[in-house]
Amino acid sequence: MTVPQTSPPQTTEPQTTEPQSALDPLNTAVLTIACADQRGIVAAVSQFLHGHGANIIHSDQHSTDPAGGTFFMRMEFHLAGLDLAREAFERTFAAEVAGPFGMDWNLSYRTVPKRMVILVSRYDHCFLDLLWRKRRGDIMVEIPLIISNHGDLRRDAEMFGIPFQVVPVTRETKAEAEAEQVRLMKEAGADFAVLARYMQILSGEFLRSFGRPVINIHHSFLPAFVGANPYRAAFNRGVKLIGATSHYVTEELDAGPIIEQDVLPVTHRETPDSLMRLGRDVERQVLARAVKAHIDDRVLVHGNKTVVF
């Protein structure tokens, strides 16, 4: 089923747009860099870009330690005016800048949206929120596939015109199920995966086999209430705030680099069920912000933490 067509909203409000520009905001690229901190990096990179006709729009840097440590940078620039095609640009940058500085680096072209595969079980709130945001243009991403261990959400996926695959998971079949999931994700050309309240724990084998980032939403304010039943645990502890955390998945449960967190005040009036209901709003907001940051190449991993520009 195709994605429903909706014509652009005509509103009584005048169109609010940025001033007329020959520079298409979508024809940009993002260069992200991590390397040992040393003198001259900013100069070298900006000189390189400038020298090849790139117009730098945004530039962010972070040094983890002024006396050495790791240097992180994100530069977003217009492609119009660039005097090198993509392949030559990357080759030249590698040779002239990245190599000498020993950089880990990545170049993303905004004209080639990332491909995001969603894994979901039966809770629809985070899943629907992402589909709606993509449809609305809030996040520039392709969603080639949704994988679930149940069929409940098939109809919602179809409403958004996205292929939906059920891969059941049981204790005995877990390894095969994971292998099938990875196969489907690779076949779909996934750049990253999102666990939108996917209730199965991914094995280290899955992560190694998929080899791409996996973003999870955990329904507590980590590191509090790791694992199952965080709302009941929060209720029992009598906390006055509940939260949600989005993080990259690692082999250790709920312990990977945190991307985004938020909380909501609660009172004694709440029950575990009402905490769960209230928590849904925090979960989908936090996951959406983390996914957007990842899509925008604003999240760089530093050990078990993140730098989020």
Active site members: 254
Q: How far is the CB of 281 from a second copy (least distance, A)?
A: 6
Among 143, 194, 239, 249, binds a second copy (CB under 8 A): 239
57 vs 107 by CB, closer to a second copy: 57
Q: How far is the CB of 139 from a second copy (least distance, A)?
A: 10
Q: Which two tokens stand for residue 181?
A: 């999931």
Residues with Cβ within 8 Å of 149's Cβ and at least 6 positions away in sequence, in order, are 121, 166, 167, 168, 169, 177, 198, 199, 200
Number of residues that bind a second copy (CB under 8 A): 99
Draw the binding track, 139-158, toward a second copy (x: CB under 8 A; -: no contact).
Answer: -----------x-xx-xx--
| Alpha-carbon dihedral 149, 152, 153, 155, rounded to 10 degrees | 130
What is the length of the chain? 309
Among 114, 164, 231, 297, binds a second copy (CB under 8 A): 231
Does position 206 interact with a second copy (CB under 8 A)? The reply is no
Segment contacting a second copy by CB under 8 A, of 87-95, 178-186, 203-211, 229-237: 229-237
- Coil, strand or helix: which one is 29? strand
70 vs 209 by CB, closer to a second copy: 70
Does position 89 interact with a second copy (CB under 8 A)? The reply is no
Q: Which two tokens stand for residue 192?
A: 């990253």
Segment contacting a second copy by CB under 8 A, of 92-100, 170-178, 188-196, 270-278: 270-278
237-271 burial, b at 16+ Cβ within 10 Å, e below that, comes to eebeebbbbbbbbbeeebebbbbbbbbeebeeebe
Closest CA to 270 of 300, 242, 229: 242
Segment contacting a second copy by CB under 8 A, of 87-95, 131-139, 170-178, 180-188: 131-139
Among 1, 26, 36, 58, binds a second copy (CB under 8 A): 58
Segment contacting a second copy by CB under 8 A, of 84-92, 119-127, 177-185, 205-213: 119-127
Q: How far apart are CA 301 and CA 259, in angstroms?
A: 9
Does position 250 interact with a second copy (CB under 8 A)? The reply is no
| Alpha-carbon dihedral 212, 217, 221, 225, rounded to 10 degrees | -90
Q: How far is the CB of 86 from a second copy (least distance, A)?
A: 20
Closest CA to 31 of 50, 14, 13: 50
